[in-house]
A and B are shown apart, each in its own frame.
Chain A
C-alpha cells in the first residue's frame, strides 16, 4: 500500500505538478457544479460548455466541473450544455453577469442503445446521434472488454451490425474483418483503423492453407491491430460505410474503425488508480475425431525398421495399416493378398515400432499393436493468459494526464509457445491559455512471441498432428525427442515415429527456435486554437511506426526447408513500417438562431506511408545453432523492398440543424495521390446526408408505443488510388541468387499502366431508428447499396501474352445489405434488469463485371480448389472439381468401383459469403451481480476443408473407417452410382484406402456448409459492496468469471468452421489452422 501511495505521488508530480501554470486566471463569471448519472454516481469526463461562447471544461473524477466566462463576454442569456459519450446531452439556460457565479448541476440519462447519445464520428468529432445521417455504431469500453482476448477485433465479434469477423479466437492468430462486404477485387478490403486521429496499420504476415517453403506463409503471425491494448480504449466507433467515412478518403471505402483511447481527467489534485487484471485458461475448442482401429501403414502392412523405407511401409504416414488388435506378431504378409480372404500375415515376424525395445543383437522386439486414442489431444496443454493493466490518471483544470502500463503473458496451448505483449500509454492535455489547448499521446507496444506453430501444408506441427500421425504412435514416448542411446535407426538427430516426412512435434517446438517481435510507437500531438468563439483550428500530427523482426530457425536434422547435408536452416525477416499523418482542421459551429445550428469543417491532410522489408535465408548452415547469414553454407537468399506513397488532401463539410429536428450535411474531399499518373492523380468526391427526427417533427407520432423515430439517408462517393509502382509498362525483376556465378534477371509478370485512373465507390444508405415503449425497445436499421467501379485490378491476362496480369481500370462490384441492431429491455425494476440485444447483418455481394472477355480472377488456390472473384457470383466463389456424373441420371459415374473427378468441368460449387451473421447478447443485472452471454451466429457460406480431405486420404479420421469395418482387406465401400462400362448401378466394392484416396483433390466431397453458432462470451460479474470497494480506495471493484468460445454448433466435421490465416482476400480454404481456444478465467477491475 505504501508503494502504491508512493507511485501515485510520483506520478502526480510527474504528470501534473510540473505543468507550467500558463493558464491566465480570468476575471468573470465562474460556472461550476457537479454532473451525476441517474442514481447519483458522479460522471467524469463530461463536457460542460457554453457553445455560443466557446468556453467550457470537463468534469473530474468526482463529477465536478468549473470554468470561467471572461468578463467581457459574461452577459445576457446563454445555454450551458453537458455532453458525454453514451449519454443524452442536456442544456440549461442561464443569465450571465460579469461577476456573478453560477452553480449548475446536471443529471444525465444514459442514451438508450445509442439512439440519441453522443458518439464519436469522422475526424474524432463528437456529435449527437440524432443529427447523424449515416450509420455509426459505438462500442463502449465496458462492452468491448466484457471478456478478454488477445486481439481487440475478436472482442468486437458479434457486437456490431454490418460487420463480418472470421478467425477470432486463436492464440495470437490473425482475424479477418470486413464491413458491409468486400469492395475491391484485388485490393485491400480491410476497414481503416484510426487511433486518436492517426491511421494505423493492420499489416499481417499471415499464413496460408498451402503453407509454404522456407520464409513464406507457413506461420500466422497475427495482425498488427492486435497491438492495441483494449484496456486503453475508451470507445470504438464503427463508421460503416463510405457515407460515414467520406472524410477519411480512399481507404475509408471499406469503413472505418475509430478507436478513441482513454485520456486524463481532472481529479481535484488526486491521482486515481485503475487496475484491471484477468487470468484465463485456454484449451483447444475443437480437435478432429480420429479412428482408433487401424495403425500406420498401407494395405494392412507395417513394420518399423528405420522409419524411412527400411521396413515395410515404415516411411508411410498414413493409417491404413494392420488392425490395432493388440497383436505382437504378424504385421506384414508373406504371400499374395486376395480380396475378401484373410490377409496372409507372417506370424513369425514381429510387429516392430519406433518404441520397440532392442535385444542384445540390436533387433527390434515385438511391441503390442495398439491404438493411442489421445495421442493428438495429449500434445496440447492448457494455455494461460495473465493480463494486467495499471493506469493512473489525474490533473486539474489546466492539465491532466493518464499513464497506463499493461502486460499480457500467454502460455500457449502448444508446448513451448509463449506470447508477451507490453504496452505503455501516456496521454496528456495541457490548456496553455483560454484559447490554446494541447494534447499529446504516446503508446509504445512490444508484441513478441516464441515458437508459434506452423499452419497449412508442409510446415510441421498442425499438419502433422491433424492428418499425418500414425494412430498407434505413442505421443508420450516422443516427449524425449533427442536421439536415444540404444536407438537402432538414424532419424535426423531425432527420436521419431517417422523419419521420412515429419519431424517429432516436440522436437520442432524445442529445437527449432522461432521468435518474432514487433516494436511499435503510435504517437500523436495536437494543438487546438480557439480562433474565435465559433471557430477552432486544430493542427495534429501523428505517426504509426513499427519494426517487426522474425527469426525462424531450423536445427540440424530438420526435415523440411533444410539441406540435410548441413546443420540446419534459417529465415530472418525484418520490416519497417511508417505512416505519418498531419492534419490542419478548422471547425466552425454557430448557434445562428435559437432554432438553427450551423457546423462546418475545412481541413487538409498529408499522409505519407513507407514500408520496407528485407530478409535473408538459407537452407544450409555450417556450424550448428548459429542462424546468421555469415554462417551459411550456401549463398543466402536475400530480398529487399521499399514501397512509399503520399496522399495530400483537402476536405470540408458543412451542416445545419433546424430545431434539433432536421439536419443536412454535405462533405467533399479532394485527394492527390503519388501512385496515380500525373493528370489522373487528383480526384474529388462528395457526399450528402440528412436526418429527420420524425417524432419531434410530427409530435402526434409520439404515443404510448412510439417515443422516438428518426429517418436518415445518405449518398456518398469515395475515390481510391492504386497500389505503388504500377505505372511503368515493364519492369525487370532481379534475382539475388547467382546461377553459379552469373547474375540473373527476368521480365516482370505484371504489365503496368501509365494511364491508371482512380477507382470509385458509390454508396447510398437509408436508416430508421425507433424507440418504442419508452425506449424499452429500440431499433437501428439500415439498408445500403454500394457499387465500386473503375476498379484498379491486376487483370489476369492469357499467359501467352507473356504477362500474367495487366494493371487496368476494370470491373464493378456491388454490395447490398441490411443491418439492424435491436435492443429490448424485457424487465426493468429497481434491482433487476434484463437487456437483450440482437444485431443482424445480411450482405449480398456481386461481381458485376471484370475486364471485357474475362470471367474470373483467382484469389487463391489449394489443391485445385480456387477461391475466385467470378463475374455474376458473390466475391469469393469456390471454383472446384466436381464428381463426374452420368448425364442422364445425375448419379455418380463410377470407374472400377471408384468415383471420378470431373477435372474437365470445374465449376462454382460454393461461396465463402455467409447469408447472414448475427450476434445476440443477453445481459441480466440483479443488484450488483451482472451476467451476460453473447451468442455469435454465422448462417450459410461454404468452406473447403483440406484437413478433411487429407485426413480421410491418410485414414486417420474416424470418418475414414467407412469400408473397413471388418478389416482392411474386406472392401466395404460400394459407391452409389452408375458403372461407366455397364451403365448399370455400381456393384464393385473397393477398399477404404482406394476409395478415400480417389477423393484426392475432389472439390465436392469436402465442401461444407460453414454455418455455426457459438457461445462467444460469457461473463458473470459481481460489484463488491462499496464498503469493501472503499478498502481499495476505489469506487468500484468488480470481480467476474469470464469465458470465451465455450460452445460451438456446426455441421462441419473435425474442424472449427471459423478460421483464417490472415487478413488478405484469400479466404475459404482450410488446412491445419490453429485451433480456436476455449478460454475460462477470472477478471478483477478496480475503478477509482
Chain B
C-alpha cells in the first residue's frame, strides 16, 4: 500500500516536471510578437507625419511662438513674460525642441531616405533629405555645433550611442552638398513623383522640390557671408544655377497648408485659441507704423483701449522683456498679433475666422529668396551684380505683401516709393534689405533671429529692462540631456566653440565686425555672462 502511494507520488512529480518544461516551446516565444506595432511600413505615411511635425516643431507654437519670436522681437510677452526675459530660455525649457526633433522627424526622414536610396527613388529620398536639412539648419543656427554626421544611427549595430558633435562649418558644408545633390537627382531622368499625395508640401512634384533644395542652398550660402565670403559666393552661384533654379514666385513657396479640421490646425492659431500672452513688439510696430506699411492692419490688431493722452492711434506695440506687473499693463493698450493667426470664436472675443486654422506654415518663402538675391546682387556675389539689387528688393517686398494678403497693388507701389523705403543701394541698401527680410520673416522667429545676428538689423533690437542678461542671446544653452547623456562629446564641442551660454557666438556669427550693416552700428560686446 505504502509503496503504491510512493509510486503515485513519483509519477506525479515526473508528470509535473515534463508538463511544465514541455511548455517552453515556440508558442511561448510567439506570444511576445507585438500585435500593436509593425516592424516595417512604407515611406509615404512616415513622410506625411514627419513633415507636419517638422513644421509644428520649428515654425509652430513652442520653439517659434514662445521662444525665438520674442528673441527676434516680432512679438513681446504681456503675460508670464519669462521667455521674453530670457528666463525660460533655460536649458530645461528649450530642450524639447532638440530632443523631439532628433527622436521623431529627423530619425523618420533618415529611415525614409534610406528606403528611397535602397529603391533608387529620388522622389522619395530627396524630399526627405531636403526637409531633414532644413530642420538641421534650425538646430545648428540655434545651438552651433550639434551631432550630425554620427547622428540618427542608434539602431545600427556598432554605431556610437554617444554621437560626436560636428563643427558648424562642416555641417553647413555637408547640408549644402546634400541639397545640391538632391536638386540634381530630382531633375534627373530617374526622378518621378513617388510620394504623391503623401507629400503635403508639393504633392510629390520633383521639380518643386528641386527649387526648394536650391533656395535653401542659397539661404545657407548667404549665412556664411561674414565668416567665409568666398564659399558664400561659390555656393550662392551653385544654388542660383542649380538644376531647376530657385523660387520665382509665391506659388513656389515651400509651405504646409494645415487641414484646419480641429485636429491638425495651424499651431499658432491653436495657441491663440486659448492663450492671450502675445502682443506685437514695439520693435516691429514702430517700423511698420512709421512707414505706413500696408501690412500693419494685417500683422497687428487694433488695441483694446487707448489710454488718455496716448497719441499712438489704433495700433501700438509694447516693449520686450518687462517685469510681469509692467508687462500686464500693456494687455489692453498694445496690439495683438494679426487676426489671421486667430481662429474663429475665442475666449477673448471674435478675432479671425475659422479658416485661419488652415493658415499655412512657411518652410521658405519666395520673398526671402528675392531678398537673398537682392543682397547677393548688392554684394556682387553668386554671379549677380549690384544693378540687379533694386529689382530683387522690390520683388521681395511685393511678394511679402501679397503673401500676407495685401491685395492693393497701388498701396504696395506707394509704400515702395516712400523715402527710406525706396531702394538706396550700398550699405544703406543692405540695411533696407535686411529690415525688409526681417519683416517678411514674421512667423519664423529662428530665421529672423539668425538674420539679425548676421546683419545687426533692425538695429532697434535690444534686451528688455527685465531681461536677465543685458544682450540679446547669440545662441541657446545646450539641453540638460546632453550633459547627462553625451557629456564627453559635449565637452569637446564646448571646448571648440566656447562656453555654453547665451554669449558665445556660433561659427557663422564669429566675425561680428565683418558685416557692413554692423560696422556703422557695432554690436555691444556682451558683459560677463551672468547666466553661468
**A residues engaging B (CB < 8 A)?**
298-299, 308-310, 312-313, 315-316, 320, 334, 492, 499-500, 531-533, 535, 537, 559, 563-565, 584, 586, 588, 602-606, 619-620, 633-635, 637, 640-642, 644-646, 648-650, 672-675, 677-678, 681-682, 724-725, 727-735, 737, 739-749, 751, 796-804, 806, 853-856, 864, 881, 884, 893, 895-896, 900-901, 903-904, 906, 980, 991, 993-994, 997, 1000-1001
Contact between chains at B20 and A801 (CB < 8 Å): no
Which residues of B from 29 to 47 have beta carbons under 8 Å from A? 29, 31-41, 44-46
Q: Is B418 an interface residue (CB 8 A)?
A: no
Contacts of A994 in B (CB 8 A): 323-325
Residue B38 contacts which of A732, A740, A900 (CB distance < 8 angstroms)? A732
Q: Do the beta carbons of B34 and A309 come within 8 Å of each other?
A: no
Please judge, given known A-B contacts A648-B24, A739-B48, A799-B481, whether A531 and B325 are in contact too, CB under 8 Å.
no
Contact A532 B6 (CB under 8 A): yes
In angstroms, Cα B107 to Cα A906, docked, is: 29
Encode B462-496 as 1/0 by CB contact (under 8 A) with A. Answer: 00001010000000010011101111100000000
B408 contacts the other chain (CB 8 A): no
Pairwise interchain contact A745-B46, C-beta atoms closer than 8 A: yes
Q: Is the CB of B485 within 8 A of A797?
A: yes
| Cα–Cα distance between A747 and B43 once the two chains are bound (Å) | 11
Does B530 contact A980, Cβ atoms closer than 8 Å?
yes
Instruction: Indicate if the CB atoms of A904 and B477 lie closer than 8 Å.
Output: yes
CB distance from A973 to the nearest CB of B (A): 13
User: Are B34 and A731 in contact, CB atoms less than 8 angstroms apart?
Assistant: yes
A-B contact pairs, 26 of them (CB 8 A): A559-B347, A586-B9, A588-B9, A619-B262, A620-B262, A635-B263, A642-B35, A649-B20, A672-B28, A724-B34, A732-B38, A737-B263, A739-B49, A742-B44, A742-B48, A743-B45, A746-B50, A796-B484, A798-B482, A799-B98, A799-B485, A801-B159, A801-B163, A896-B466, A903-B531, A904-B532
Q: How far is the CA of A728 from the CA of B92 in the complex (A)?
A: 31
Q: Which residues of A contact B524 (CB under 8 A)?
A: none
Min Cβ gap A582→B in Å is 11
| Set of chain B residues within 8 Å of A1001, measured between Cβ atoms | 82, 87-88
Contact B325 A606 (CB under 8 A): no
The one of B24, B28, B163, B346 that contacts A800, using a Cβ cutoff of 8 Å: B163
| Contact status A298-B328, CB under 8 Å | yes
| Those of B168-196 within 8 Å (CB) of chain A | none
> In the complex, A798→B100 CA distance in Å?
11
Does B198 count as interface, using CB distance less than 8 angstroms?
yes
Contact of B90 among A298, A724, A751, A881 (CB under 8 A): A881
A746 to B108, CA, bound (A): 6
**In the complex, which residue of chain B has the Cβ closest to the Cβ of A677?**
B29
Closest 6 CB pairs of A and B: A903-B90, A801-B154, A802-B107, A532-B5, A744-B49, A800-B147
List A contacts of B91 (CB < 8 A). Answer: 903-904, 906
Which residue in B154, B323, B331 is a CB contact (below 8 Å) of A309?
Answer: B331
- CB pair B41–A745 under 8 Å, yes or no, is yes
Query: Is B104 at the interface (CB under 8 A from chain A)?
Result: yes
Task: Check: B313 CB closer than 8 A to any chain A CB.
Answer: no
Indicate whether A799 sits within 8 Å of B103 (C-beta atoms), given known contacts A642-B35, A746-B108, A748-B37.
Answer: yes
A724: B residues at CB distance < 8 A: 32, 34
The listed residue (A603, A620, A678, A906) touching B480 by CB distance below 8 A is: A906
B354 and A565 contacting across the interface, CB-CB below 8 Å: yes
Say which residue of B24, B200, B348 sits within 8 Å of A742 (CB atoms).
B200
Q: Which residues of the other chain, B, contact A588 by a CB distance below 8 angstroms? A: 9
Q: In whole Å, how far is B303's beta carbon from the nearest beta carbon of chain A?
A: 12
> Which of B33, B154, B468, B530 lies at the interface centre, i.e. has the most chain A CB atoms within 10 A of its CB?
B154
A652, closest chain B residue (CB): B13
Interface residues of B in 265-288 (CB under 8 A from A): 273, 276
Of B12, B99, B347, the contact of A500 (CB 8 Å cutoff): B347
Within 372-412 of B, Cβ neighbours of A (below 8 Å) are at none
Chain A contacts of B354 at CB under 8 A? Answer: 565
Q: In the complex the two chains form, is A802's CB within 8 Å of B102's CB?
A: yes
Which chain B residues in 305-360 approach chain A with CB under 8 Å? 308, 323-326, 328-329, 331-332, 343-349, 354
Contact between chains at A681 and B347 (CB < 8 Å):
no
On whether A730 and B19 interact (CB within 8 A), knowing A743-B48, A800-B151, the answer reads no
Which A-chain residue is minimally distant from B37 (CB atoms)?
A731
Interface on B for A, CB 8 Å cutoff?
2, 5-6, 8-9, 12-13, 16-17, 19-21, 23-24, 26, 28-29, 31-41, 44-46, 48-50, 52-53, 82, 87-88, 90-93, 98-100, 102-104, 106-108, 110-111, 146-147, 151-155, 159, 161-163, 197-198, 200, 259, 261-264, 273, 276, 304, 308, 323-326, 328-329, 331-332, 343-349, 354, 466, 468, 477, 480-482, 484-488, 500-501, 530-532
In angstroms, how far is the closest chain B Cβ from the Cβ of A94?
23
A644-B31, A855-B484 known; A802+B106 contact, CB < 8 A:
yes
Which residues of A are found within 8 Å of B26, using beta-carbon distances?
678
B500 touches A747 (CB 8 A): no
Interchain nearest-CB distance for A362 vs B (Å): 18
Q: Is there an interface contact between B198 and A742, defined as CB atoms closer than 8 Å? A: yes
A499 touches B347 (CB 8 A): yes
A997 touches B324 (CB 8 A): yes
Q: Which residues of A contact B162 (CB under 8 A)?
A: 798, 853
Q: A313-B328, A903-B91 are in contact. List 15 more A-B contacts (CB 8 A).
A: A309-B276, A500-B276, A650-B17, A734-B41, A740-B259, A740-B264, A742-B44, A742-B48, A744-B45, A747-B108, A802-B155, A900-B468, A900-B530, A994-B323, A1001-B87
Q: Which of A532, A748, A799 is in CB contact (< 8 Å) with B8?
A: A532
Q: Which residues of A contact B468 (CB under 8 A)?
A: 895, 900
Q: Which residue in chain A gives the minimum CB-CB distance to B199? A: A742
Contacts of B328 in A (CB 8 A): 298-299, 313, 316
Smallest beta-carbon distance A956→chain B, Å: 16
| Least distance between B278 CB and chain A CB atoms (Å) | 13
Q: How far is the CA of A563 from the CA of B260 in the complex (A)?
A: 12
User: Given contacts A606-B20, A642-B36, A903-B91, are A796 and B348 in contact (CB under 8 A)?
Assistant: no
Question: Are A881 and B163 within 8 A (Cβ)?
Answer: no
**A681/B477 in contact, CB under 8 A:** no
Nearest-neighbour CB distance to chain A for B112, whole angstroms, equals 10
B154 touches A751 (CB 8 A): yes
Contact A747 B111 (CB under 8 A): yes
Nearest B residue to A536 via CB reads B9
Shortest CB distance B265–A (Å): 10
Given the complex, which residues of A lie within 8 Å of B159, measured CB to CB? 801
Find B21's partner among A646, A650, A739, A747 (CB 8 Å cutoff). A650
Minimum Cβ distance to chain B for residue A872 (Å):
13
- Tell which of B325, B488, B532 touches A993, judged by Cβ atoms closer than 8 Å: B325
Residue among B33, B34, B103, B500 making CB contact with A749, cutoff 8 Å:
B103
B103 near A735 (CB under 8 angstroms)?
no
Chain A residues contacting B37 (CB-CB under 8 Å) are 725, 731-734, 748
A741 to chain B, nearest CB (A): 8
A320–B146 Cα gap in the complex (Å)?
Answer: 44
Q: Is the CB of A645 within 8 A of B161?
A: no
Residues of B with C-beta under 8 A to A802? 102-103, 106-107, 110, 151-155
Pick the residue among A586, A893, A904 that contacts B12 (CB under 8 A): A586
Shortest Cβ distance from B163 into A: residue: A800
**Contact present for A864 and B530 (CB under 8 Å):** no
- Provide the bound-state CA to CA distance between A637 and B262, in Å: 12
**Complex Cα distance A675/B163, Å?**
30
Residue of A nearest to B5 (CB): A532
> Which of B41, B198, B347, B501 is close to A564, meaning CB atoms less than 8 Å apart?
B347
A315: chain B residues within 8 A (beta carbon): 276, 331, 348
Docked-complex contact B155 and A751, CB < 8 angstroms: yes
Task: Point out the residue from A633, A641, A730 that lies within 8 Å of B262, measured CB to CB.
Answer: A633
Beyond A531-B12, A563-B262, A746-B104, whether A801 also contacts B17 by CB under 8 A is: no
Contacts of A725 in B (CB 8 A): 32-34, 36-37
Q: Which residue of A lies closest to B148 (CB)?
A: A800
Cα distance A803–B343 in the bound complex, in angstroms: 35
